């Protein structure tokens, strides 16, 4: 029998750089449809855990947690009010998928409560509201991120690499982006995105957010000098936009056009044309598949002899990922906390 002095000592703890950090404890504020997608992302992201769900009633919070598998996997605390969620000391960060009209109130309240803010898009109804949200986060020293998922896909980084390459793309001169989907009658009558008191920006704030983001991303967020709306936008009886578009002009002659709609077939198209090359992607918002995403790049294109084809042909680039883009977004947000 070993004496106490000869007993094996416990192994030393691993060096700090090898220790796995504690997951960020999320609170989900509201049980909107998009929140189901983010709940799954938080189950998949290694650096995240859902600590609490808050809704307008505890019964709604419980139903959401059961439906999404959170109750079984993470056993979150269930709150029957948003105030209770923000008062929960076991919540580090809040994901807000509420209607846009509620963003400024609850995002600033979350920041004041010391919670990091992952805010669903569109972030606000106007620039002044977004400024208030950012100021509140800055004053509280908390992280802010908008939930634009495609920005976090590794394909986006690869596209950025090629767009920024002078030899491949050259100077970006023309950008076109389009995001539309054909909404059914139930959506057009009852969805929050067609209600002026909930999401008054309509398709501009929903699908148009992505189209505009794609354009600004393509020009490294240089703001245009002039924006002119396209004629004849489509509105519902309450005045909410169902289809619209605009053309953007820069001082150096760059031009971009976007369209967005709830009335036409599902399309997620982005084309970036430079002096040396053209990038084209047909699923830029949500890839056709979770594990693979592709785009085409044509560079130094010319007509083939006798103008019977192209030379060289565009190249197809395929980028794989182990996690869906929404989980990568959650992971990046968690690591930046």
Do residues 85 and 98 touch, judged by C-beta distance below 8 A? Answer: no
DSSP-assigned letters across all residues of 126-180: SHHHHHHHHHHHHHHT--EEE--GGGGSHHHHHHHHHHT-TTTT-SEEEEEEEEE
121 labelled catalytic: yes
User: String of b and e for 211-220 (b: at least 16 CB within 10 Å)?
Assistant: bbbbbebbbe
Joined tokens for residue 278: 């053209």
- Sign of the Cα torsion 137, 140, 141, 142 reads negative
Residue with token string 């980028």: 319
Beta carbons of 136 and 108 less than 8 angstroms apart:
yes
CA distance 180 to 211: 10
Cβ atoms of 76 and 52 closer than 8 Å: yes
69 phi and psi angles, rounded to 5 deg: 85, 0
- What is the 3-class SS of 120-136, one letter each residue? CCCCCCCHHHHHHHHHH
Angle at 154 between CA 97 and CA 144, to 5 degrees: 35
Give the active site residue among 121, 291, 302, 337.
121
3-state helix, strand, coil in the chain (%, to 5): 35, 25, 40
**Both structure tokens of 53:** 């769900």
Question: Helices 154-163 & 207-218, crossing angle to 10 degrees?
Answer: 40
Burial of residue 126 (number of CB atoms within 10 Å: 0-12, 13-18, 19+):
exposed
The DSSP bridge pattern shows strands 93-96 and 24-29 to be parallel
Give catalytic residue positions: 121
């Amino acid at each position: 029998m070993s004496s106490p002095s000869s007993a094996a000592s416990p192994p030393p703890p691993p060096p700090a750089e090898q220790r796995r950090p504690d997951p960020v404890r999320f609170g989900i504020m509201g049980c909107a449809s998009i929140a189901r997608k983010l709940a799954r992302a938080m189950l998949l992201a290694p650096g995240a855990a859902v600590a609490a769900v808050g809704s307008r009633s505890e019964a709604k919070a419980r139903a959401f947690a059961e439906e999404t598998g959170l109750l079984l996997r993470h056993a979150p605390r269930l709150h029957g009010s948003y105030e209770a969620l923000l008062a929960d000391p076991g919540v580090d960060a809040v994901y807000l998928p509420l209607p846009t009209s509620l963003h400024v109130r609850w995002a600033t309240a979350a920041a004041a409560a010391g919670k990091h803010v992952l805010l669903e898009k569109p972030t606000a109804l106007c620039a002044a509201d977004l400024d208030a949200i950012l100021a509140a986060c800055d004053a509280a020293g908390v992280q802010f991120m908008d939930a634009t998922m495609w920005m976090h896909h590794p394909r986006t980084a690869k596209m950025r690499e090629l767009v920024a390459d002078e030899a491949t793309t050259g100077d970006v001169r023309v950008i076109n982006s389009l995001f539309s989907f054909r909404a059914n009658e139930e959506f057009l009558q009852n969805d929050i995105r067609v209600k002026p008191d909930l999401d008054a920006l309509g398709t501009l704030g929903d699908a148009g957010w992505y189209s505009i983001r794609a354009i600004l991303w393509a020009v490294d967020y240089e703001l245009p000098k002039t924006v002119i709306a396209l004629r004849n936008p489509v509105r519902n009886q309450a005045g909410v936009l169902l289809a619209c578009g605009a053309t953007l002009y820069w001082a150096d002659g760059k031009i971009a056009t976007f369209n967005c709609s709830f009335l036409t077939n599902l399309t997620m198209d982005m084309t970036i044309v430079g002096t040396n090359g053209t990038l084209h992607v047909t699923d830029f918002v949500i890839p056709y598949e979770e594990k693979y995403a592709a785009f085409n790049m044509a560079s130094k294109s010319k007509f083939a002899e006798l103008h019977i084809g192209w030379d060289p042909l565009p190249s197809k680039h395929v980028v794989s990922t182990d996690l869906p883009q929404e989980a990568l977004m959650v992971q990046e947000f968690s690591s930046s906390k």
